[in-house]
Amino acid sequence: MFEKIKKFYLLGLYAPAHVAHFVEKGKITQQEYQQIVGQAYESHAPAILSDDSN
């Protein structure tokens, strides 16, 4: 899976957020993310909004 994701990233078919999605799904590790993207992994998952309107 790592090689396929890396290939698609290098071809411009995946953005860093796409690669992060594979980390979040357990398909690649955070270290593999860094090898592919060249930056440390940061979660791209949407933040859970809290309801502070009380």
**Cβ atoms of residues 12 and 19 within 8 Å:** no
What pLDDT, on a 0 to 100 scale, did the predictor assign at position 51? 55
In this structure, which amino acid lies at residue 7? K
Measured between its terminal Cα atoms, the distance across the chain in Å is 46
Residue 45 pLDDT > 80: no
- 5-44 pLDDT tens trace: 999 999 999 999 999 999 999 999 999 999 999 999 987 6
DSSP 29-54: -HHHHHHHHSS-----SPPPPP----
The CA distance from 21 to 39, in Å, is 15
Q: What is the pLDDT of residue 47?
A: 52
- Indicate the domain borders of the chain: 2-37
pLDDT at residue 54 tops 70: no
Question: In the structure, what pLDDT confidence band is assigned to residue 48 with cuts at 50, 70 and 90?
Answer: very low
pLDDT score for 43: 76
